[in-house]
Amino acid sequence: MKKLQKALIAVIASTTLLSSASQAAMVEVEVTNLFETDGLAFTPVWMGFHDGNFDTFDVGSSASNSLQALAEGGDLSGIMADFNATSPNGKQGVLTAPSGFAGAPVFEPGESAVSSTFDINAADNGYFSFLSMLIPTNDAFIGNDDAMAYSLFDTNDQFVGLDILVIGSNVWDSGTELNRGYGSPFLAGADAEARQDENGVVAQHAGLTVLSGGLSIFGGNTPAGYSIDQAAADFTAQGFEVARITVNQVPVPASLGLFALGMLGFTTIKRRSSTSNV
C-alpha cells in the first residue's frame, strides 16, 4: 500500500508539472532579415514579454525620447529602462546577429539568429513586443505598439506561439528626423549636419525615395562594404518582405514525458495487482 501511495504521489506531481506547462512555457525567438542582397540591415532587436500593457509607441502621437533614440541611432537603453520601470514581471532581451559588420552586430540582408530561452507564463508575460531600427535610414523602425501586442497564449492559457511576417507597410517613421538620405547614420560618407529635427508624429513610413532635400541613399555605401540597391532596399513595393520573427516553445525534454508515462503505467499495474489480490 505504501509503495502504491508513493507511486500515486509521483504521478500527481508529474501530471501537475505537465498540466502547468499549458500556462507557462520556455520559448526562444528567431529573427531573420528578409531583405535581399544589397538591401537594408537592421539593428539588434529588442524583445519584451509582458502582460499586454507595455507601450512602445502610439501611431499618430509624438515619439518618446526612448523611441527617438532607437529610431535615429539604434540605442535601446531607454526602451529597456522604460520596460523595467513599467513591467516588473516582464522579461526582455536584445538579439544580435552572429556577425554583422565590424563593431556592430546588426542583421545584414539574409542574416538570422536565435535567442537564448525565456521562461514565460500567461499571466505575467504572455504578450510579445519588439523594436529595431532599419539602417541606413534617418528614423525608420519596425515594431509593434501596445494596441498590437502579440498574444502568446490562447483563451485557455495554452501556448500558441508566433510567426510574424513584417512587410513594408509595417515599417514606421518616428517623425523625429527629416528623411534626408545622406543624413542617415550607418552610411559611408554621411553628412551628420544634414540631420534635422522633424517634430512630427509616429506614422507609416512613406519610403526611402520621399526625401526632404539631400540625396537618396540608393547607391550609397554601407560600412559592411556593399552599395544599396534600390530594388532590394525600397520596401514600398506591395508585399515587400522585411523581416520574420518567430516565437516557439522549446520542446519539453523527452525524459520528462517518458517519466510521466512510465509512472502512469506503473500505477495502472499496481492497481490491477491490488484488485486481483482482493
Structural domain that includes position 259: 1-21+253-278
For 248, the grid coordinates are 516557439
Q: Choose the weakest-confidence range: 39-43, 86-90, 196-200, 204-208.
A: 196-200
**Which domain CATH number covers 152?**
2.60.40.2130
pLDDT tier at 180, thresholds 50, 70, 90: confident
Choose between 114 and 221: higher pLDDT. 114
3 plus 59 within the same structural domain: no
Give 261's strand partners: none
Confidence of residue 252 (pLDDT cuts 50, 70, 90): low
Give residue-wise pLDDT tens across range 159-177. Answer: 999 999 999 999 999 999 9
Closest among 47, 33, 34 to 100, alpha carbons compared: 33
Mean pLDDT (the chain, rounded) = 82
Give the pLDDT confidence score for residue 184 in this predicted structure. Answer: 74
Count structural domains, the chain: 2
The string of DSSP codes covering 19-31 is HHTTTEEEEEEEE
Residue 278 has pLDDT above 50, yes or no: no
Average pLDDT over residues 61-71: 97
Distance CA 126, CA 48 (A): 10
Question: Taking the CA atoms of the chain, what radius of gyration do you get in angstroms?
Answer: 24
76 and 1 both lie in a single domain: no
Which of 134, 137, 138 minimizes the C-alpha distance to 177?
138
Mean pLDDT in residue range 111-130: 95
Do 219 and 93 fall within a single domain? yes
pLDDT tens, position by position, 197-241:
788 999 999 988 755 566 678 888 888 888 999 999 999 998 999
Residues 205 and 257 in one domain: no
Residue 181: its pLDDT value, please?
Answer: 73
Tell whether the model's pLDDT for residue 57 goes beyond 90. yes
Average pLDDT over residues 31-58: 96
Our measurement of the distance from residue 44's CA atom to the centroid of its chain's CA atoms, rounded to an integer in Å, reads: 10
Do 6 and 82 sit in the same domain of this protein? no
Question: Are the CB atoms for 165 and 131 separated by under 8 Å?
Answer: no
Q: Are residues 243 and 258 in the same domain?
A: no
33 and 132 assigned to the same domain: yes
The pTM of this model reads 0.81
Are residue 110 and residue 173 in the same domain, yes or no?
Answer: yes
Q: Are residues 88 and 119 in the same domain?
A: yes
Which uninterrupted H or E stretch holds 162? Answer: strand 162-167
260 plus 125 within the same structural domain: no
Kindly state whether residues 98 and 195 are assigned to the same domain. yes
Do 247 and 268 belong together in one domain?
A: no
Distance (Å, rounded) from C-alpha 185 to C-alpha 181?
A: 9
